[in-house]
């Protein structure tokens, strides 16, 4: 039996390749670029016979149809209309065999109306369930958010999810291995564990969906404060389509500095270098989204119609950047700066910079009343701990909810370590704020220095 989890960096996404006997295999929830699954199957002498979809994903574009076209595999889903075009539609409790492996479809709605889980029974495990692919219904340490279909029905959906997990998944047995579609870092769950491996037995001891009553679970879901990236709506549409082939690399041009300078006015510039490199020198009005953050934050500053011009650290980073955007349905990279910032600098083209600072210097400025602190972390992080006197504005909403701070005042921006605050600093710079400082090390360094922090209590939001 062959089994492997395949992660997608930056999205917290898990796909799986499972060998089922006689050289046949299934792939569960594949992303748009499918080469890794194909290589893995080929290296292990496996033929992909089926592709399983647990639900219409919101945070990445599916590769199911592309994989099907390349391998002849059939796409399996639930029977709900929101699955779009699939080959085999399973009702609740219906099953099918792949060689000696039995797979049973279980309707587990709540995160989304169409959500399915798939219980897997392997030949040498007798009648006991070996594992369950739960999509976004049940995570390690958490459950899927229930506000996505309709924020007004968050509580109702939470009750539906609670019932589905207890009625459909819990009876599979404590020995059952848990294989969710996402791990830590996903925007589809608020408190997913950092560990990947779990069983239903472990979850019954640790997961709130099992430790709380139905009413308490619903109330907890009603208090969740999770941002919804704007590109989610685009994913809901494209994941109903048969599948879109990748355009990289044939449609992306490398542009010399003069042409890049002329063309970039047609759209926007994203600089994927580190916050430190960006702070030292960057193209005016560029956004700074570090390379690993592009899948999560690219969809906050651009959409499927935005013409994008990239600044990267080199050719490999360029490929990763284009692919990261394509995974969230954005295929509109029009150009990449040849030889990066070095070529721009050597041509004498305009440069800007952003000042960096550290926790100790920021604390000193605060004592002298010289600075405003802007915290751009998410609601969970802000509620857990924060710097006294800080103003909070999540980086994803910063552009449309700019803080009512004097544009000519000294503003220190921080997150956990400095990546999201690098993006926030670039947004403020684009919008006319003058004295911006990115606090490198963020609240992590602040805490290690023993500097004062506030816990849950009175919040101060940006106006």
Same-domain check for residues 197 and 230: yes
> pLDDT averaged over the chain?
94
Same-domain check for residues 412 and 435: yes
Q: How confident is the model over 418-447, as a mean pLDDT?
A: 97
In a domain, 455, yes or no: no
The predicted pLDDT at position 245 comes to 81
Q: How confident is the model over 67-73, as a mean pLDDT?
A: 96
**What is the per-residue pLDDT across 290-305, written as a single tens digit (0 to 9) for each?**
999 999 999 999 999 9
Same-domain check for residues 101 and 188: yes
Same-domain check for residues 98 and 199: yes
The predicted pLDDT at position 457 comes to 55
Same-domain check for residues 290 and 316: yes
Same-domain check for residues 219 and 74: yes
The predicted pLDDT at position 461 comes to 56
The predicted pLDDT at position 321 comes to 96
The three-state DSSP-derived secondary structure of the chain is: CCEEEEEECCCCEEEEEEEEECCEEEEECCECCCHHHHHHHHHCCCEEEEEECCCCCCCCCECHHHHHHHHCCEEEEECCHHHCCCCEEECCCCEEEECCEEEEEEECCCCCCCCEEEEEECHHHCCCCCEEEEECCECCCCECCCCCCCHHHHHHHHHHHHHHHHHHHHHHCCCCEEEECECCCCCCCCCCCCCCCCEHHHHHHHCHHHHCCHHHHHHHHHHCCCCCCCCHHHHHHHCCCCCCCCCCCCCCEEECHHHHHHHHHHCEEEECCCHHHHHHCECCCCEECCHHHHHHHHHHHCCCCCCEEEECCCHHHHHHHHHHHHHCCCCCEEEEECCHHHHHHHCCCCCECCEEECHHHHHHHHHCCCCEEEECCCHHHHHHCECCCCEECCHHHCCCCCCCCCCCCEEEEECCCCHHHHHHHHHHHHCCCCEEEEECCHHHHHHHCCCCCECCCCCCECC
Q: How confident is the model over 278-298, as a mean pLDDT?
A: 97
The predicted pLDDT at position 460 comes to 54
Same-domain check for residues 13 and 72: yes
The predicted pLDDT at position 305 comes to 95
Answer yes or no: is pLDDT of 458 > 60.
no
Q: How confident is the model over 99-112, as a mean pLDDT?
A: 97
Same-domain check for residues 95 and 41: yes
Q: How confident is the model over 405-430, as a mean pLDDT?
A: 96
Q: How confident is the model over 6-31, as a mean pLDDT?
A: 96
pLDDT tier, 280 (very low <50, low <70, confident <90, very high otherwise) = very high
Answer yes or no: is pLDDT of 216 > 70.
yes
Answer yes or no: is pLDDT of 348 > 70.
yes
Q: What percent of the chain has pLDDT over 70?
A: 98
The predicted pLDDT at position 247 comes to 76
Last residue of a domain, one of 346, 364, 395: 346
pLDDT tier, 190 (very low <50, low <70, confident <90, very high otherwise) = confident
Q: What percent of the chain has pLDDT over 90?
A: 89
pLDDT tier, 463 (very low <50, low <70, confident <90, very high otherwise) = low
Last residue of a domain, one of 316, 346, 376: 346
The predicted pLDDT at position 84 comes to 82
Give the domain range for residue 383. Answer: 355-448
Q: How confident is the model over 368-393, as a mean pLDDT?
A: 94
Same-domain check for residues 286 and 158: no
User: What CATH number has the domain bearing residue 361?
Assistant: 3.40.250.10
Domain count, the chain: 3
């Amino acid at each position: 039996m062959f089994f492997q989890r395949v992660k997608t960096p930056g999205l917290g996404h898990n796909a799986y390749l499972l060998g089922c006997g006689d050289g046949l295999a299934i792939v569960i929830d594949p992303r748009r670029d499918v080469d890794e699954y194909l290589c893995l199957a080929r290296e292990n002498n496996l033929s992909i016979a089926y592709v399983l979809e647990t639900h219409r994903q919101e945070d990445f574009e599916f590769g199911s149809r592309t994989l099907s076209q390349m391998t002849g595999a059939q796409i399996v889903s639930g029977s709900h209309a929101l699955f779009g075009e699939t080959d085999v539609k399973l009702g609740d409790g219906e099953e099918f065999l792949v060689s000696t492996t039995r797979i049973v479809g279980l309707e587990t709605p709540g995160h989304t109306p169409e959500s399915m889980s798939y219980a897997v029974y392997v030949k040498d495990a007798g009648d006991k369930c070996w594992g369950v692919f739960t999509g976004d219904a049940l995570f390690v340490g958490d459950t899927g958010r229930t506000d996505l279909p309709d924020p007004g029905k968050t509580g109702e959906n939470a009750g539906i999810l609670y019932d589905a997990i207890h009625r459909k998944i819990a009876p599979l047995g404590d020995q059952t291995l848990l294989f969710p579609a996402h791990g830590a870092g996903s925007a589809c769950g608020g408190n997913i564990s950092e560990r990947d491996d779990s069983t239903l037995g472990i979850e019954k001891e640790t997961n709130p969906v099992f430790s709380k009553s139905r009413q308490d679970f619903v109330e907890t879901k009603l208090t969740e404060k999770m941002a919804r990236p704007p590109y989610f709506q685009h994913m809901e549409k494209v994941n109903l389509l048969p599948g879109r082939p990748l355009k990289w690399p044939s449609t992306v041009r490398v542009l010399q500095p003069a042409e890049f300078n002329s063309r970039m006015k047609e759209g926007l510039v994203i600089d994927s270098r580190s916050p430190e490199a960006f702070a030292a020198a960057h193209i005016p009005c560029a956004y700074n989204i570090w390379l690993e953050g592009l899948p999560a934050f690219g969809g906050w500053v651009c959409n499927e119609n935005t013409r994008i011009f990239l600044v990267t650290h080199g050719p490999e980073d360029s490929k990763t950047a284009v692919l990261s955007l394509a995974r969230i349905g954005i295929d509109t990279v029009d150009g990449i700066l040849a030889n990066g910032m070095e070529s721009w600098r050597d041509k004498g083209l305009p440069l800007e910079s952003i000042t960096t600072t550290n926790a100790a210097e920021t604390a000193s400025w605060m004592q002298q009343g010289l600075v405003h602190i802007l915290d751009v972390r998410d609601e969970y992080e802000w509620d857990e701990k924060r710097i006294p006197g800080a103003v909070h504005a999540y980086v994803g909403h910063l552009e449309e909810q700019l803080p009512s701070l004097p544009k000519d005042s000294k503003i220190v921006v921080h997150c956990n370590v400095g990546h999201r605050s690098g993006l926030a600093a670039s947004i403020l710079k684009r919008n006319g704020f003058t004295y911006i400082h990115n606090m490198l090390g963020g609240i992590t360094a602040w805490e290690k220095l023993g500097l004062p922090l506030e816990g849950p209590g009175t919040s101060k939001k940006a106006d």
